[in-house]
Amino acid sequence: MNDKNLLKFDKNHILHPYTSMIQPLPVSLAVSANGVYITLNNGKHLIDGMSSWWAAIHGYNHPALNKAIKEQLNSFSHIMFGGLTHKPAIDLIKLLSQLLPSELNKFFLCDSGSVSVEIAMKMAIQYYYNMGQSKKSKFLTIRNGYHGDTFAAMSVCDPITGMHSIFKNILVSQFFAKSPDCGFNEKWNEDYILDFKEILLKNKSDIAGVILEPIVQGAGGMRFYSPYYLKRVRELCDQNDILLIFDEIATGFGRTGKMFALEYPQVVPEIMCIGKALTGGYMSLAATITCSKIAEGISKNDGVFMHGPTFMGNPLACSAAIASIKTLIGSPWENRVANIENQLKIELMPINKMEIVSDVRVLGAIGVVELKKNVNIEKIQKKFIEKGVWIRPFGKLIYLMPPYIIESNELSILTSSIKEIIKSGDI
């Protein structure tokens, strides 16, 4: 098949995310990826501004990650995790333990971010069930959140962007507080949490857990909020016997400037989800991590935790994750993320003055330009490709989260492409 026919076949038979099943948005044919460049079939090299949705923090085709997977492949690519274990899983958990608060000491390895959120929610529900409080089975969260596309995860996504109306007969209804209004650096005022507090106090006998993306709300709106909000959430959960779940699937592994966003408020949740950059974007792997209190509660009276994916603890994915974490901690990632942050601020902030722009914000290696109206994704994508960059906006948001290895001149090409395209007004 020539490339034209490959793309025709793709259009007719292969479903892509968040697009029509019969008239999908166009896709480009990628043939290779190396460092921060994605190469298309027409030979065009695109500078990657997306890290493949927060995941490819070291760029593509990384020698250390390639080597780790090849070596593991020579032993075995997968074995079931029921009744068997292996060194890649053990070494990975040892490494993760060094990076996380010591209270988080029980790790469940699973296949994707959404599944890790399902597991976190099951853990919270099963904990209270086993403690004789089965009424506590709902969750409180904030608007503009995103936690994945499976049903339980969807139930705690923003009701509008999560399209709750379509699934209303099947989605569990959860509690939603206003999205925090306090910017990352804003002075704390107790009013910021009043709505959340009121809902929590009114419904605490039904609530098993609060689930939040700490500091950065990702796909639900790319919003940043104050660490104080999280400190207050922790206090309210403690005072009212409610578990706290942090979804660090997007924020984990340095993206916000800290290894994990929980380091900003110095708050430890009972349950935490990680994924995406866990394997440096190489393979699908996620983890739900909890503490002794939850493990002991669930296990009381011979209770067992009811989950076990076929590809649990996949050794190839664990090997990639070990290599990715070692590559990260062996690199000057804090400097790199700080440099990206500074440069994004310098180069993106002036866009704020443009008529069609409603806000520009930067935190860590994340830069967001929010427009006053939705972009035409098909049109804007084509323009970005013509400019030699891979940037995939959604709704009103044009955003960058490049691999940490990006060079300053490459990052400038990303930011100037955004500037030029917005300036043209034809979006």
Indicate which residues carry an active-site annotation.
18, 146, 247, 276
Residue 122 or 417: the one with the smaller Cβ distance to ligand PLP is 122
* Tokens at 180, concatenated: 């925090």
Question: Of the ranges 131-139, 245-253, 342-350, 376-384, which one interacts with ligand PLP (CB under 6 A)?
Answer: 245-253
Question: Of the ranges 110-118, 352-360, 378-386, 389-397, which one interacts with ligand PLP (CB under 6 A)?
Answer: 110-118
Q: 337-360 in b/e burial notation, b at 16+ Cβ within 10 A?
A: bebbbebbeebbeebeebeebeeb
Site for ligand PLP contains 250 (CB under 6 A): yes
* Tokens at 60, concatenated: 């593509």
Question: Of the ranges 86-94, 109-117, 133-141, 346-354, which one interacts with ligand PLP (CB under 6 A)?
Answer: 109-117
DSSP E strand boundaries for 78-136: 104-110
Whether 295 contacts 64, CB under 8 Å? no
Binding-residue pattern over the window 133 to 162 for ligand PLP, x denoting contact by CB under 6 A: -------------xxx--------------
Q: Least distance in Å: CB of 115 to ligand PLP?
A: 7
Residues in Cβ contact with 422 at an 8 Å cutoff, skipping those fewer than 6 apart: 351, 354, 356, 357, 369, 371, 398
Site for ligand PLP contains 114 (CB under 6 A): yes
Q: Least distance in Å: CB of 57 to ligand PLP?
A: 14
Q: Least distance in Å: CB of 419 to ligand PLP?
A: 26
**Phi and psi at residue 218, in whole multiples of 5°?**
-85, -105
Angle made by CA atoms 300, 303, 304, in degrees to the nearest 5: 135
Q: Least distance in Å: CB of 110 to ligand PLP?
A: 10
Of 38, 249, 271, 289, the residue at the interface with ligand PLP (CB under 6 A) is 249
Q: Least distance in Å: CB of 357 to ligand PLP?
A: 24
Site for ligand PLP contains 93 (CB under 6 A): no
Binding-residue pattern over the window 35 to 54 for ligand PLP, x denoting contact by CB under 6 A: ------------------x-
Residue 117 or 320: the one with the smaller Cβ distance to ligand PLP is 117
Of 51, 112, 130, 256, the residue at the interface with ligand PLP (CB under 6 A) is 112
CA 49 to chain centre: 15
Whether 7 contacts 29, CB under 8 Å? yes
Site for ligand PLP contains 275 (CB under 6 A): yes
Residue 308 or 350: the one with the smaller Cβ distance to ligand PLP is 308
Of 215, 219, 259, 277, the residue at the interface with ligand PLP (CB under 6 A) is 219
Whether 245 contacts 120, CB under 8 Å? yes
Q: Least distance in Å: CB of 250 to ligand PLP?
A: 4
How many residues does the structure list for the chain?
427
**Alpha-carbon distances, residue 14 vs 24, 25, 284, 392 (angstroms):** 10, 12, 19, 19
Residue 53 or 188: the one with the smaller Cβ distance to ligand PLP is 53
Name the residue with tokens 């509008």. Answer: 160
By CB under 6 A, what part of segment 327-386 binds ligand PLP? none
**Alpha-carbon distances, residue 222 vs 63, 282, 318, 349, 367 (angstroms):** 32, 24, 29, 16, 9
Gap between the Cα atoms of 410 and 48, Å rounded: 9
Residues in Cβ contact with 396 at an 8 Å cutoff, skipping those fewer than 6 apart: 358, 370, 371, 372, 373, 374, 375
Name the residue with tokens 């999560």. Answer: 162
Of 218, 254, 281, 297, the residue at the interface with ligand PLP (CB under 6 A) is 218
Residues that bind ligand PLP (CB under 6 A): 53, 112-114, 117, 146-148, 213, 218-219, 247, 249-250, 275
